[in-house]
Structure 1
């Protein structure tokens, strides 16, 4: 399976490409550019009929690599006992060091798969948790999957991810390190705006299943909030 091609279909053109950490494009470092291009299933999944979900907008701007950058910042602040979410442009954070445990492009989940697939599964599960994706929207998502020009393996994977229930315990099992637990939680928090009881309960259940160190979740939530603010413009 071509993971980069699959991610491009999910986030939009460029969503799965590995980019250098230096240089800028459109105000964002190339390493965080990710899904800035229009299109991709995220445009359907991370939106809603109300046009909300600013966290989803942040993901569409930043792509997968932004998860690692934000999670690394939150984790570093937690270790140093500093306040998180105070930076003016959280979506412009530099790429984490390769040996930091937050290099999402070169990491693997508990099942040995490319860790970016675990993040995609986490995003999809979180976005489905409030039940806003109705039968009509499911049909639109399936239609777009068929129109992405993906191979059979990539299409099959997407169909499976969308068909899976929003199970926070199953999502938590994808992590094998504390750093990955932080990334999975942050990706999930960015996929929703936790303003409904269903979304809030999902994040509570996910945090409990991930068993993160005490206090880390608060730093991750602050970084997610800061990303939403920047996405709101």
Structure 2
């Protein structure tokens, strides 16, 4: 699902409907919504001096249609994480071309040669506050005159987690990127690389939206989804498994 947030047809329809209903606020609405659903294109546009980023721009931008990439999440820096200023996709980035990971002393030169990014160890890549940058969303609301009067918490799974018992037990990554306790090579390049890493982390990143997974699967060609049907089946199964194992409830009489 991380590859397809900008291809989500329900999201596209909702953003379009909101802009049609509030044409004077189209820029506000669509810039806000593309911040999480098309973060690479929007971030690149703002880096180049843009002050807004519309849905029509995102749909024509290959960066946006690639969804949420490896290099987006792994470039997010630790400064200010979990502060209100980094919520709603205000993730801290800069021009350093540093990529953060969970392993000490990474072999850097091959990645530098291939991508221009330098891999570096940082503990914050395993911190739930990293996920909070997009998964804490405050959305503008309007007064009776149609003016923006403030923001309200539209989606707050990070804040809900932070105020739950899970904060002492599991991070976001523990469930959505489960660890595999097995030593293995994490790259086939360069061929002389012999260092084993343990644990490794499965990038399942499965949420709970199995319904949208089905829509994407059934409309692969129309929505230009690059995954095959069997890939979507796997994602749907992981989403359902996440929902089934997320919480335990009990009846108290």
Same fold (TM over 0.5): no
Greater share of residues in helix: 1
Identify, as 1 or 2, the structure richer in strand: 2
Higher relative contact order (CA 8 A, sep 6+): 1
Larger radius of gyration: 2
Q: TM-score range by the shorter chain?
A: under 0.3
TM, length-normalised to structure 2: 0.26
Alignment TM-score, normalising by the size of structure 1: 0.27
